[in-house]
Amino acid sequence: MDRYLSIACLQYTSTKDELITLKKIKRLIEKALEAGVEVIALPECATSLQENPFLTKKLAKHEDENISLQSLKEVAKSNSIFVLIGSLPIKSGNKLVNRSFLVGPKGDVLYKYDKIHLYDVNLPNGDIYRESETYLCGDKAVIATIKKNKINIGMTICYDVRFPNLYHDLALNGAEIIVVPSAFSNVTGPFHWHTLLKARAIETGSYIIAPAQTGIHQCGRISYGHSLIISPWGEILRDAKKKVGIIYAKINLNEVVIARKAIPALNSKKMYSTNF
């Protein structure tokens, strides 16, 4: 029996004001609904990006006070759809967590995932990012199971994509789709984005769904765009390029079974000795 899922990625440019960004998101969701999708995926930093960690911390709220979360829960409920909120800054103690939410058709949070690998880098152009100054890292991998036919979705966020062991573990534990909501740097994006995501799809025999931010943000940051939907064989099924808009596809989960049978890399881990 074929198992299908219709899924859309939204691509846009988050502003500093979550209410303004939410208006953009809702317009794109209307377009996605016209295509009859079941799951709508938003990028990392789904509703706001600030100039500095101080403002991010100052504006962050706990889950029950977060306007974006409550608004998107209502969108999911009123349209009976799943909404993946790529990430929101959520208060946790003296710091924040960069938390992704999967909201169900009844408007309830079904699963949540805190970004494990934090973006602490020194880019060649001089840009320096230290997410660990703002966020606590997560310590738990998450697989969401949705619908009656139990479709399994591994949850990751952006910089996680550079750590293949996480994706390998998600696939070994049943993930058929792995989501990678991102606000990927325009410096590394042209060299790394497509290659990393295709590699994670091929290595795990999983669908990769990667909604991304695009363009110049009010805070001055530039995001690479190119939201992608990639097959378990590594074929790019949809690429949003740099444009604001949506991409969507009806994916067949049987393709995961076919890819993993053809190349059973997940089941071929070997132990070996070294001379170093």
pLDDT digits (tens, 9 = 90+) for 209-268: 999 999 999 999 999 999 999 999 999 999 999 999 999 999 999 999 999 999 999 987
- Catalytic residue from among 115, 176, 198, 255: 115
**What is the pTM (predicted TM-score) of this model?**
0.96
- pLDDT score of 79 more than 90: yes
Question: CB atoms < 10 A from the CB of 67, how many?
Answer: 13
Band of pLDDT at residue 269, cut at 50, 70 and 90: confident
Establish whether 148 is a catalytic residue: no
d(C-alpha 71, C-alpha 55), whole Å = 22
Helices 67-79 and 18-34: crossing angle, nearest 10°? 20
d(C-alpha 197, C-alpha 162), whole Å = 9
Going by C-alpha positions, the residue among 143, 251, 260 that lies closest to residue 205 is 260
**What share of residues in the chain are helix, strand, coil (percent, to 5)?**
30, 30, 35
- pLDDT score of 2 more than 80: no
Q: What angle do CA 197, 201, 206 make, to 5 degrees?
A: 135
Establish whether 158 is a catalytic residue: yes
* pLDDT for residue 1: 60
Band of pLDDT at residue 130, cut at 50, 70 and 90: very high
Domain 4-266 has what CATH class? alpha beta
Band of pLDDT at residue 272, cut at 50, 70 and 90: confident
Q: What angle do CA 113, 230, 202 make, to 5 degrees?
A: 90
- Catalytic residue from among 44, 131, 176, 255: 44
Q: What is the mean pLDDT of residues 177-195?
A: 97
- Catalytic residue from among 45, 73, 158, 176: 158
What DSSP line would sit under 152-203, residue for residue?
EEEE--GGGGG-HHHHHHHHHTT-SEEE--B--BTTTHHHHHHHHHHHHHHH
- pLDDT score of 174 more than 80: yes
d(C-alpha 145, C-alpha 110), whole Å = 9
d(C-alpha 28, C-alpha 24), whole Å = 6
- For residue 126, give both structure tokens: 């001089």
In whole angstroms, how far apart are CA 228 and each of 28, 169, 178, 271?
A: 16, 22, 12, 34
Average pLDDT, the chain: 95
Asked whether 90 and 66 are in contact (CB, 8 A), the reply is: yes
Establish whether 241 is a catalytic residue: no
Chain mean position to CA 208: 9
Q: What is the mean pLDDT of residues 161-190?
A: 97
* pLDDT for residue 149: 87
Q: What is the mean pLDDT of residues 81-101?
A: 95
